[in-house]
Structure 1
Amino acid sequence: MDKGYAWVVMMATCLLQILYSCLLTSFGIFLVDITETTAYSTGRIAWIGAIGATFCGVSGAFTGNFIDRYGCRKVVIVGSLMISTGYLLSAFVRNVNIQYFSLGILAGIGFNCYAVSSHVAASQWFSKRKSLALSIVMFGMSFGIFIWGPIARFLSFTFAWRGAMFVIAGIQLNGLVIALLLRPPPKEKKPIEEQVKKELEVQEKKNITFKLCDFTLCKDWLFMVYCVANFCLLFGHVLPLILLPTKAETLKISKTKGAALVSTLGACSCIGRPIVGYCADKPWFNRRLLFASSSLVGGLLSAFSTLLNTFVLLMVYSSLIGFFSAFFMALFASVGADLVGINKMPKAVGLLTTAHGFSFLSSIAISGQLCDFTGNTDASFLLAGVIQTFSGILAFTVYFIHKRRLRHKEVKINTLIDGKI
């Protein structure tokens, strides 16, 4: 643990995150080209990305159970094949309804296999330096956002968008090679542990359906408010990745510069990830407060982005939104664990990713319809900013209520101790 082969696994999971970031970043580039070369509206095409992001989110709870049963290696292999098949089909079919399945459902579930497996594998191999390892893994996602914009634009310019998807299908097969590096960590188990494990295996298989449908955390109203905050947060955050190239086009900015805006967002997010990783375990670091603050600032930036009409100003916006996104995207899971306890973290992350999935669906679909109705992206960015700002307000509400709960709990414990003395 924390040494030797653990660093190989960490680099492998970082590469998985780079491949995973292709989901939304490249689609934002292809959205413009597909709309221009087909008879479909922006709203119809945007549903492809919406469905893909939704299935990538909502399948997280199920993927976690498959990882428990079959391991990260097999799940990543299946995910790689699903993604490649989805992109390959999309390169040849001409019916958008089929692309809803191939690039939406099939590739979306495959990308979720990458995302969940990378977090689980890194967590299994690291203990003392887990926060640092996970921040480096998430650095891969930010770096992927940085490079996938220019890659997608180059491929689309060179081979057209259908040829670009064919090439990406081949690139995603690298997940098969990465999967071979994800071997399970060595564990020294005592005989009694082996016996208990064997006794529980049968019971665990009987209860698998129940575990997949376990929503006991829904009874915790404060955590549900936090889920709503995450829904609103991702509703606003995903739109810059998708619509920045489209916004650039409406302002007569070249497609190359439009792709550069997305790359800048990813690059600045790369800068913020190591900062979060270094500070995460420090006693003075208040992740709940920083999560709420970064969510609020990100929302305000998107709301006021409607006033920006030059490439330089949009570059500044991309830089700021990328930097602040590094904080709330890296902290959402750990803040959820603070609210419900570390023992309930898997269930909490499952519900949070489900909320993210539905937010992807609604934000991309609604923004596409708004673009068709208004003829530009201003209404979409304004809506995203307002909703993400509301998520920051909810996050601050959760922060203060949870802080009050902790204070009351501490007073109660001290009272009990004084009574015994």
Structure 2
Amino acid sequence: MSGEGNTGEDEREVMAVVPQDAKAPDGGWGWVCVVGRFFIVALSAGLTSGFGIMYVEIINYFDTTRAETAWMSSLFGGMNCVGGLFGGAAIERYGCRATTVIGSILACAGFVISYFSPNIYLLCFAYGILVGSGFAFMYVSSSVVVLQYFDKRRGLAMSISSLGDGVGMLVLPPLTYLLIETYSWRGAFLVTAGITLNAAVFGLLFKPPPYLSKASQKRSARRSVLHSFKQLLQNKLFFVFAFGSFLLHVGYTVPLIHLIDLVILKGVEKSRSTLLMSVMGTASLVSIVIFGWISDLPNVSRIGLHSASIAVLGASVMAVPSLDTEVAFFVFAGIFGVFMGAWYMGQGVLVSQIVGVELTSIAFGVHSLHTGSGMFLSSILAGWLFDITGSYVLPFYISGCLYLCASLVTLIVLIARRRVTDHSHNHPATRDSPSQM
């Protein structure tokens, strides 16, 4: 995780390509945007992990197979790729504020339609497509606006806003269980619709930082979304990193969505199984703060930290099928939560560092295309494998292997980054040029 000499500073110098006239305020109104992203991340993470409870209820209500029901979460992930891509383009054209509000309205509408759904097919459309695309819009825009406001404190700002990941996993799964017990799964969807609409309020606070509001007026006439995308295509290092994210997300939802079903099948009470997500959330809360601070230290390689965290996640997921006791499952939830927090916090920071602040919005959209494609395959693949084999052994093994492969790909990015660093030392004049690796 630590490089030789001052590799952490070299990494920031080579990878953070910022225009001469663009100076992030590293504070000010940016902290308001941090709070807004906190709320949106909490919603996204909490609802993703809480869907494992909803997943079991819908299987029982509609008497569907796990593969059929998994289409809901798979379409949700798929729309994260399409919605994220269009979200990045929308930010380029309309800004983070309008994009967030549109996403909140879309997600709210999806939850309301889910309440009235008479079958699994309409649920797949409402939850998978509408809610999925809405959250993609909100996540991309909230991440971009925070990255635009911060440079030197970027790791700290992203880690604080990413605390929503842990809070969401701590609060929303138990709340989802309580809502289902009180109002049924339909009522839970309706209450969630009202909660989601509050994201529009935070979206209205996402005004652009002063340097971008002035600079964008000068550049908007000559730089279109297509032009930004063409610039991004020249950055090979970014697409290697995005491919690693794709591999990880093919296995990503398996422990989050199917863990509760697995432990219930192993004899753990449903009310106890929902606490696993809360343990993950609590562990994630602590780790995001700690790893966010560590990632900003001068001698720490953020990419190395990212890769190591993914490797631990993969190893822990592969161990799940061999666990038999309730205590063992809670230990896994704690370990997974700690390193999930470290991985989650680093994603946005690394994307921005690799491509530079001007291309951050379009890069987030393209990155979402990769991660969403992986999530689309993830849940439905796990449900299909369960229906064939009758157990979750193979889905969890494959998920763990994919995490490990993603860690290796991220190591390739680390090696390539060091080559760029060495080249910059030997040719100082090229240091201010965008990395084409």
Fold in common (TM above 0.5): yes
1:236–1:299 contact (8 Å) kept in structure 2: no
Look up the equivalent residue of 2:68 and give its one-letter code: R
Residue 45 (structure 2) aligns with: 21
1:197 aligns with 2:221: no
Residue 245 (structure 1) aligned to one of 250, 255, 260: 260
Paired with 2:353 and 2:27, the residues of 1 have a C-alpha distance of 27
Match for residue 103 of structure 2 among 79, 84, 87: 79
1:176-325 aligned within 5 A: 176-186=200-210, 197=217, 200-204=219-223, 207-208=224-225, 210-211=226-227, 214=229, 217-218=232-233, 221-325=236-340
Identity of aligned residues (%): 29
- Describe the shift of the 1:68–1:27 C-alpha distance in structure 2 as closer, same or farther (beyond 3 A): same
Query: Would you say the 8 A contact 2:144–2:364 is kept in 1?
Result: no
- SS in structure 1 at match of 2:296: coil
Residues 126-184 of structure 1: CA deviation (Å, up to 9, x unaligned): 45433212211111122112211101111111111111111111221222333343344
Give the direction of change, closer, same or farther, for the CA distance of 1:4–1:225 in structure 2 (3 Å limit): closer
Q: TM-score under structure 1 normalisation?
A: 0.88
Report how far residue 408 of structure 1 moved: 4.3
Q: What is the DSSP-based 3-state SS (H/G/I as helix, E as strand, rest coil) of the residue aligned with 1:236?
A: helix
| Contact in 2 for aligned 1:246/1:377 (Cα 8 Å) | no
Asked if 1:95 is matched to 2:119, the reply is yes
Q: Which residue is equivalent to 1:154?
A: 178
Q: 1:284 deviation in Å?
A: 1.0
Residues in 1 aligned to 2:151 and 2:428: alpha-carbon distance in whole angstroms: 30
- Structure 2: 5+ residue runs without aligned partners? 1-24, 430-437
Give the 3 Å change call, closer, same or farther, for CA 305–188 of structure 1 in structure 2.
closer
Task: Tell me the SS of whatever aligns to 1:59.
Answer: helix
Q: What is the RMSD computed on CA atoms of the aligned residues? A: 2.6
The answer on 1:54 being equivalent to 2:56 is no
- Give me the whole-angstrom Cα distance separating, in 1, the residues matched to 2:86 and 2:190: 29
Which stretch shows the higher mean deviation, 180-189 or 86-95? Answer: 180-189
- Structure whose CA Rg is larger: 1
**How far did 1:368 drift?**
0.9
Question: Contact 1:86–1:102 at 8 Å: present in 2 too?
Answer: yes
- Matching residue's letter, 1:63: G
2:388 aligned partner: 373
Report the Cα offset of residue 55 of structure 1: 0.8
Q: Which structure's relative contact order is higher, taking Cα pairs within 8 Å and 6+ residues apart?
A: 2
**CA–CA distance in structure 2, aligned partners of residues 341 and 71 of structure 1:** 17
Give the counterpart letter for 2:372 in structure 1. Answer: G
Contact 2:385 2:394 in 1 (8 A): yes
2-side partners of 1:306 and 1:91: how far apart? 34
Query: Do the aligned partners of residues 202 and 411 (structure 1) sit closer, same or farther apart at CA in structure 2, a change above 3 Å counting?
Result: closer
Distance 1:397 1:368 in 2: 31
Contact kept, 8 Å, 1:58 with 1:355, in 2: the verdict is no
Amino acid at match of 1:371: F
**Aligned partner of 1:134: which letter?**
M
DSSP-derived class of the 1:74 partner = helix
Which amino acid is the alignment partner of residue 8 of structure 1? V
User: Which structure carries more helix by proportion?
Assistant: 1
- Which residue of structure 1 lines up, in the alignment, with residue 20 of structure 2? none
- Cα offsets for 1:385-409 (capped at 9, x unmatched): 1111121122223323432343244
* TM-aligned CA distance change 1:354 to 1:23, over 3 Å: farther
Q: Which moved more, 1:66-75 or 1:265-274?
A: 66-75
Q: TM-score, normalised by structure 2?
A: 0.85
Indicate conservation of the 8 Å contact 1:367/1:380, yes or no: yes
Structure 1 residue 217: Cα displacement: 4.5
Does structure 2 retain, via aligned residues, the 8 Å contact 1:244–1:262? Answer: no
**Cα 1:30–1:188, aligned 2, differ >3 Å: closer, same or farther?**
closer
CA deviations over 1:10-51 (Å, ceiling 9, x no partner): 222212222222441221110001001112111111111111
**Alpha-carbon distance between aligned partners in 1 of 2:152 and 2:411, rounded to the nearest angstrom:** 30
Q: Quick check: 2:107–2:130 contact (8 Å CA) kept in 1?
A: yes
How many residues are aligned here? Answer: 406
| Cα shift at 1:75 | 2.1
User: What amino acid does structure 2 have at the position aligned with 1:230?
Assistant: S
Is residue 86–residue 107 contact of structure 1 (8 Å, CA) maintained in 2?
yes
User: CA separation in 2, counterparts of 1:242 and 1:322?
Assistant: 14
Give, in whole Å, the separation in 2 of the partners of 1:7 and 1:225.
31
Indicate which of 38, 54, 57 corresponds to 1:30.
54
Q: Which runs of 4+ in 1 moved over 6 A?
A: none
Secondary structure in structure 1 of the residue aligned to 2:118: coil
